[in-house]
Amino acid sequence: MPEHRTGPDARTVRTASAPGPKGGRRAEARRHDREIIALALPAFGALVAEPLFLLTDSAIVGHLGTPQLAGLGIAAALLGTGVHVFVFLAYATTAAVARRVGAGDMAAAIRQGMDGVWLALLLGTAVAAVLWPLAPAVVDAFGASATAAPHAVTYLRISALGIPAMLVVLAATGVLRGLQDTRTPLYVAIGGFSANAALNVLLVYGFGFGIAGSAWGTVIAQCGMAAVYLAVVVRGARHHGASLRPDAAGIRACAQAGVPLLVRTLSLRAVLMITTVVAARLGDVEVAAHQITLTVWSLLAFALDAIAIAGQAIIGRYLGAGDAEGARAACRRMVQWGVASGAVLGVLVAVSAPFVGRLFSGDEEVRGQLLAALLVVAVTQPIAGVVFVLDGVLMGAGDGPYLAWAMLAVLVVFAPAAFAVPALGGGLTALWAALAGLMMSVRLATLWWRARSGAWVVTGAVR
């Protein structure tokens, strides 16, 4: 674990961010830009690599038959939702480790990261132990058909064995991000995707294991990724003299820090679930167009989330170094990046919207609904850009409790508005105006107020 990736020490950060004349401000902006790009670009690559696991599995399993593909779709949706709930393992670990890095205490930073890894291992083992016997009941509750259910249960049970590795990957990714290293996660993600693809082909077709082979290929790839991450973290711990043993107090502290972010994530998932439920009530055409729009929206989120990840690492480091002004300056610059990125993405979506429908559907009605919904997404991208950035800034500051309450407030405002869409005769465009317009605007208002208040600026190695 090279020391040059851990960022400048506290004294250097404070000196570099000191206010100066106009030329000095330009130099400061360029320095922030270099930092943001250096962290955000590799983070974007790693984020995009993650959904490729599912795409690869789908492409390979799809040739086995429709029941197998349907079973994979059900199992993957359950796994994806379950694992995504624990994304706080990455977010909370990034912020905590970055603060220690800013304070110049590398041993404590890695020790903090190891607490997150141990928590991930404990949670993953518990989830796997519960999911294995309950897999048939869970699949049945999901409404799987008689032909798809056996394949879904097979995939879900085998994949459950890889859940501890999946959560360790989340936590270890947070450790490296906190250490200002987003390149290693990119390399690991690329290696994991490549191994997953090769193993799937070998096990599904070479050995004839069917959908079970696809599940085993993904489990092996995830375990390999976890092993690489652990090797990197262990090497860093030995270099800096950090203990690798589980610490009960440290693990409890990680869990407590993660609870507010868990509430935030569950609230956001509820928003997306409500949107899909309402879209289904509008009709088959609307729900088909909604699914495509949601796919595009999720892809755009990867690009904006990369800037947010950079924000988590940078803000945590500045605050750990005791540099409140540097944190504020970085926040201002990242907001500018959010606006600019959102504007560029919005233009790209608006220009490509008439052609996107042809890639996904031959139904003219679906294309018409899709075009209107995508234009709503395009117009609201600058708002989304700022929301993602400020979300990352507050996560980096360890302001989880506020993020939890803010997201709950957003859910309270959004839910009645979404359910009112069909009641008032609105269609898919109105529903997406509620999601991409109203929901994101309320998030912007709550996050902007917090950022302006300065209450998030709490310096020190521990918040």
Confidence of residue 7 (pLDDT cuts 50, 70, 90): very low
pTM of the model: 0.88
CA angle 48, 52, 53 (to 5 degrees): 130
CA-wise closest residue to 278 among 133, 66, 430, 453 = 430
b/e for 350-375, b at 16 or more Cβ within 10 A? eeebeebbeebbeeeebbebbbbbbb
Phi-psi region of 243 (alpha: psi -120 to 50; beta: other; left: phi over 0): beta
CA-wise closest residue to 463 among 172, 103, 163 = 103
pLDDT in tens, 390-420: 999 999 999 999 999 999 999 999 999 999 9
pLDDT in tens, 184-240: 999 999 999 899 999 999 999 999 999 999 999 999 999 999 999 999 999 999 999
Q: How far apart are CA 97 and CA 177, in angstroms?
A: 8
Among all chains, which residue has been given the structure tokens 């009530």?
Answer: 281
Per the prediction, the chain carries an average pLDDT of 89
Confidence of residue 361 (pLDDT cuts 50, 70, 90): low
Confidence of residue 21 (pLDDT cuts 50, 70, 90): low
Q: How far apart are CA 172 and CA 168, in angstroms?
A: 6
Q: Is 374 helix (H, G, I), strand (E, B) or coil?
A: helix
| pLDDT at residue 188 in the model | 95
Q: Find out whether 167 and 86 touch, Cβ atoms under 8 Å.
A: yes
Q: How far apart are CA 82 and CA 166, in angstroms?
A: 11
Q: How far apart are CA 144 and CA 149, in angstroms?
A: 5
CA distances from 14 to 9, 59, 149 (A): 9, 51, 58
CA-wise closest residue to 164 among 125, 210, 114, 215 = 125
Among all chains, which residue has been given the structure tokens 């190891």?
Answer: 114
pLDDT in tens, 293-327: 888 898 899 889 999 999 999 999 999 999 999 99
| Tokens standing for residue 111 | 């020790």
Sign of CA dihedral 36, 403, 463, 460: positive
b/e for 232-251, b at 16 or more Cβ within 10 A? bbbebbeebebeeeeeeebb
The DSSP H or E segment spanning 354 is helix 324-360
